[in-house]
Amino acid sequence: MTKVGLVAGGLGAYWPQFPDLLPQLKLSAERVSQRMREFDCEVVDAGFVSDPQEGARAAETLRAAGCDIIVAFLTTYMTSNMLMPVAQRSGAPVLLLNLQPGPSMDHETFDTGAWLAYCGACPMPEMVNAFRRCGVETRCVSGYLEEPAAWEKIGRWVRAAGVRAKLRHGRHGLMGHLYPGMLDVSIDLTLVPRQFGGHVEVLEIDDLRVRVEQVSETETDERVAYAREVFTVDSSVVAEDLRWAARVSVALDQLVDDFELDSLAYYHRGLNGETHERVGAGLILGASLLTARGIPAAGEYELRTSLAQLILDQLGAGGSFTELQALNFDDGVVEMGHDGPAHLAISDRKPILRGLGVYHGKRGWGVSVEFDVKHGPVTAFGLGQELDGSFRFVVSEGTVVDGPLLRIGNTTSRVDFGCHPGEWTDAWSMSGIGHHWALGTGHRRADLQAVADLLGLGLVVVSKEDIR
């Protein structure tokens, strides 16, 4: 759960001059604290500060709490030295709030004390300037206390802080080896802890194999039964292949538990039907079930995409492993998906398990997942990489629409980006995205912009406005 540090304040010199002001401001601070808790987060409320000494004590409270974001409510004018310790000591992103009591003042009846309750905007430029000069970047939201648009923005920053925290503490599995020749997929493993924090756990396919060998027949039976509940099992599925996929799925759950993984990227080629090849080919069922419960998995050793899936999942958007499949110029849509793991929670219908005699471009055989993402607004999102290795977010918002789909055991979605599909594909490719990404539900550009900001990363948007 995201931990939000909250502090409110105003200039103590006002209290003797305007006796009714402080009680009014504290009521507003209590309302902000109440509204913050509605974001399904833990709120560490350091109270109301009136001078630099109280600010320093609040800073220690929030520092010790280990907050994911610090929210400072500027109820009226206050000097920047009152909040400087809060900004400097926490090590967390800082969000400044200016939420005046109502949309506007009553100019005919307000005196100076009443005006000061509307004066939270005054110190905001001072705070940002002083913090920046001390090396602390901050963000701002201005509005009035019950303004829905302001609280939508605040919620966006809280969600972004939760994603940042998940990445900072995350454990990301990377199992097997690079798909031969996929140079865009290759990655320097130090880039993840450097830019996101967290840990990359390098796993061997044998780490999974030994667990597959330990799965009992009873566990396999139970997983087969569960798969039949979750999926429509097509007649092309061979019973033996389903049992094998179920067995690998049980072992995959054990692997994730043993290594405490928050995400997983994998690939293993194998040869001549030996055990490792069978294990690699049997992963799609288990990886899809993991992804559906918030532990995203990506095939073809795509660590950047499993991270993108994790980010979308944390934002409530799902995030399914995706690449380009074909362009439909008659219908004006881009068809995208993959034959690997899918996010079952965002399927438009009950997903299908289909039997495959062969995976395209990969060795092995078994079962694969077929569905399209829920129809309606979606976001394509992935991690591009610059020449110096730095990540950047690449985002494009579109709409999944109805229409004909292939029945070959792939996830496929028909996405309308509001422009010529060829022109969109060119612009998307030129963004530096790589050939895999995550597809999630809803339009998430604003949320992803906030996450990129907190991570200090750039964001590239591919939109119909820019293409035209």
Q: Tokens 């200016």 belong to which residue?
A: 98
Per DSSP, 345 falls in state: G
Say yes or no: 219 and 157 in one domain: no
Dihedral sign for Cα atoms in the order 90, 95, 100, 101 = negative
pLDDT band at 270 (very low <50, low <70, confident <90, very high): confident
Say yes or no: 361 and 212 in one domain: yes
The per-residue pLDDT for 341 is 85
Over residues 159-174, mean pLDDT: 97
Phi first, then psi, for residue 173 (nearest 5°) are -80, 140
The per-residue pLDDT for 361 is 53
**d(C-alpha 184, C-alpha 293), whole Å:** 28
Say yes or no: 422 and 455 in one domain: yes
Say yes or no: 147 and 237 in one domain: no
* Helices (runs of H) and strands (runs of E) counted in the chain: 17, 19
More confident residue, 365 or 186: 186
pLDDT (tens digit per residue) in 220-231: 999 999 999 999
pTM of the predicted model, to two decimals? 0.94
- Decide: helix, strand or coil at residue 451: helix
Say yes or no: 292 and 409 in one domain: yes
pLDDT (tens digit per residue) in 1-25: 899 999 999 999 999 999 999 999 9
- The last residue of one of the domains, among 113, 138, 168, is 168
Q: Tokens 């288990």 belong to which residue?
A: 286
Q: Tokens 């293993």 belong to which residue?
A: 268
CA distances from 210 to 251, 275, 288 (A): 9, 11, 21
Number of domains making up the chain: 2
**d(C-alpha 369, C-alpha 234), whole Å:** 10
pLDDT (tens digit per residue) in 72-88: 999 999 999 999 999 99
**d(C-alpha 196, C-alpha 344), whole Å:** 26
Q: Residue 211 belongs to a domain with what CATH number?
A: 3.20.14
Residue 38, burial from CB neighbour count under 10 angstroms (0-12, 13-18, 19+): exposed
- The last residue of one of the domains, among 117, 141, 168, is 168
pLDDT (tens digit per residue) in 424-449: 999 999 999 999 999 999 999 999 99
Say yes or no: 133 and 221 in one domain: no
- Decide: helix, strand or coil at residue 261: coil
- The last residue of one of the domains, among 152, 168, 184, is 168
Say yes or no: 96 and 244 in one domain: no
Structural domain of 220: 170-467
Say yes or no: 139 and 177 in one domain: no
Say yes or no: 156 and 181 in one domain: no
Say yes or no: 194 and 131 in one domain: no
What one-letter code names the amino acid at 130? A
**d(C-alpha 57, C-alpha 353), whole Å:** 58
Say yes or no: 155 and 195 in one domain: no
Q: Name the H helices within 170-294.
A: 191-195, 205-213, 217-230, 239-259, 275-281, 283-292
Tokens of residue 204, six digits: 């061997």
Say yes or no: 27 and 10 in one domain: yes
In 3D, which of 431, 314, 211 has the Cα closest to residue 2? 314
Over residues 137-147, mean pLDDT: 97
